[in-house]
């Protein structure tokens, strides 16, 4: 995409979480959401049709049904494809100039196989690195219990290669 990453190599953004305290008996998990980052990608799709095809393959592998999709190609480069699933959504954004992509998958199905879909896309993108986290979703307050785990996983390995575009 044409937007620039925030900050520079010296800075790192902290994960920001806000949650109100609720009792354990009030918490209901209604789904799971995966946030992932692919880095050092050697073969990102260059058009929305190819990315959508690979996402449909991943959806099938993950055991979910695609209901609809929409895509956008950015100028001068970059793609976003968003899919509505029978169980929620699946979105990928690419930044070829930084050789990276971000994925967001939400599902209320216990049968969704996130891991195999993420690995399939890692192979498709030729990504040397994949960092992801799965978070239970539901009634407010769930994230409070996972604050330290989320921060540790997201900040464990900064993706420095996303900071500087490759020269063409």
- Judge whether 69 counts as a catalytic residue: no
**Of the listed 88, 100, 107, 120, which one is catalytic?**
88
Q: Three-state secondary structure along 129-145?
A: EEEEEEEEEECCCHHHH
Q: For residues 168 and 27, give the distance between their C-alpha atoms in angstroms, rounded to a whole number.
A: 50
- Judge whether 72 counts as a catalytic residue: no
DSSP states along 57-102: HHHHHHT--EEEEEEEE-SSS-EEEEEEESSEEEEEEEEGGGTEEE
The burial of 153, by beta-carbon neighbours within 10 Å (0-12 exposed, 13-18 middle, 19 or more buried), is given as middle
- Judge whether 100 counts as a catalytic residue: no
**Of the listed 93, 100, 107, 120, which one is catalytic?**
93
**Of the listed 89, 102, 108, 109, which one is catalytic?**
108
Catalytic residues: 88, 93, 108
């Amino acid at each position: 995409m044409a937007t620039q990453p925030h900050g520079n190599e010296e800075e790192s953004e902290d994960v920001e979480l806000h949650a109100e305290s609720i009792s354990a008996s009030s918490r209901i998990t209604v789904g799971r959401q995966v946030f992932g980052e692919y880095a050092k990608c050697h073969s990102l799709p260059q058009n929305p049709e190819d990315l959508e095809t690979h996402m449909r393959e991943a959806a099938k592998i993950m055991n979910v049904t695609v209901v609809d999709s929409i895509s956008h190609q950015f100028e001068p480069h970059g793609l976003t494809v968003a899919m509505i699933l029978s169980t929620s959504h699946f979105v990928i954004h690419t930044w070829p100039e930084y050789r990276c992509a971000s994925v967001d998958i939400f599902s209320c199905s216990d049968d969704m196989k996130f891991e195999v879909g993420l690995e399939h896309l890692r192979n498709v993108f030729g990504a040397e690195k994949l960092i992801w986290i799965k978070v239970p979703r539901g009634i407010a307050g769930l994230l409070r219990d996972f604050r330290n785990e989320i921060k540790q996983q997201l900040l464990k390995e900064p993706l420095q290669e996303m900071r500087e575009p490759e020269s063409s």
